[in-house]
Amino acid sequence: VALQTVFTALLSVEHPIALAPMGDAAGGALAAAVSNGGGLGLLGGGRGDREWLERELTIVHQRTNRPWGVGFQSWSVERSVVQRALDDLPSAVMLSFGDPTPFADMVHRAGSLLIIQVTDLDEARQARHNGADLIVAQGTEAGGHGGGRATLPFVPAVVDLVAPIPVLAAGGIADGRGLAAALVLGAAGALVGTRFLASPEALLAEAERQAIVAAAGDATERNRILDIARDSPWPERYTARTLRNAFLDQWRGREDDLRADPEALAAYRQAAARRDLGVVPIWAGEAVDLITEATPAGDIVVALAAEAELALAGVGRT
């Protein structure tokens, strides 16, 4: 018997697993592979690049007839870009990082489900106020940008706060044991990023994929340094978890010095243009421990669901 939850019923999917809408990396091929595997594939619309969105929407339509969706970063996307995505009738639109208020009504008017990712309890209250159909509680273990709460206590706190709105757990979930844990915490499923980032369908350079496969969780850290170096205007409150690299070792704790050092910033830009792995951000979460190969995304969905069922059947027996 498949694991059925409020999430699988709401989205008409087989397994309680969603692909995190990882900006740039979660393109049409990855979203379609996750949807075809029985999960919910979400395109990583990121800050709202129109060309990227057009191209990847076309790919998702070519490759799947199953439910899919698209995610955007609220602090930077424009309403017209969200509307462009809604024109293609996604099952869901997910909004993260910043105030979702300007977009909530348009998503509902278009008939899509509204998913809001939250990083603290205030954001969870705001998401409820915005009429979210589904709330993603993201713990600080997550790869990419996020906040400071840990998944284990944060997920049940959000579940209690926003009930009866269903919640997905995110941050550090990369295998069936993590999915099982999410369900036991009261979540209706898991939203998974880093594990899918290492799959061949993700839009990622091969060297970066290999770095994720090779890395252990001890080798990730949250920082603002790489956003400063990239001159990326992320709101201060959201730091990014990346693999450690030589540039972080050089500037950790010296953010203000970096801001004030035009030569260092120019050197960063040159190295980043070559995709030098010693400087570029490889966004990845603590769950890199659990990633040992570049598994196709559809297989990940099926394996996570099967492992979670086994894990739940065995709870308390070890």
| Residues in contact with ligand FMN by the rule CB under 6 A | 20-23, 25, 44, 46, 71, 73, 96, 117, 138, 141-144, 170-173, 191-194, 197, 283-285, 287
Cα–Cα distance measured from residue 28 to residue 193, given in angstroms and rounded to the nearest whole number: 15
Please give the sequence-ordered ranges of beta strands (E in DSSP) within the chain, or none if there are none. 17-19, 41-44, 68-73, 92-96, 113-118, 134-138, 144-146, 167-170, 190-192, 220-223, 239-243
Tokens representing 265 are 């910033």
CB of 317 to ligand FMN, least distance (A): 27
| Of 165 and 240, CB closest to ligand FMN | 240
| Of 69 and 144, CB closest to ligand FMN | 144
How far apart, in Å, are the Cα atoms of 191 and each of 172, 232, 234? 10, 25, 22
Residues 6+ apart with CB under 8 A from 291: 174, 194, 195, 198, 212, 213
Which residue's Cβ has the minimum distance to ligand FMN? 193
CB of 123 to ligand FMN, least distance (A): 12
The single residue listed with the structure tokens 């997550």 is 142
CB of 260 to ligand FMN, least distance (A): 28
| Of 16 and 23, CB closest to ligand FMN | 23
| Of 90 and 172, CB closest to ligand FMN | 172
| Of 10 and 94, CB closest to ligand FMN | 94
Cα–Cα distance measured from residue 244 to residue 218, given in angstroms and rounded to the nearest whole number: 9
DSSP 219: G
| Of 154 and 247, CB closest to ligand FMN | 154
The single residue listed with the structure tokens 């170096």 is 229
CB of 257 to ligand FMN, least distance (A): 27
Residue 313 burial (C-beta neighbours within 10 Å; 0-12, 13-18, 19+):
exposed
CB of 204 to ligand FMN, least distance (A): 8
CB of 149 to ligand FMN, least distance (A): 12
Cα–Cα distance measured from residue 43 to residue 24, given in angstroms and rounded to the nearest whole number: 8
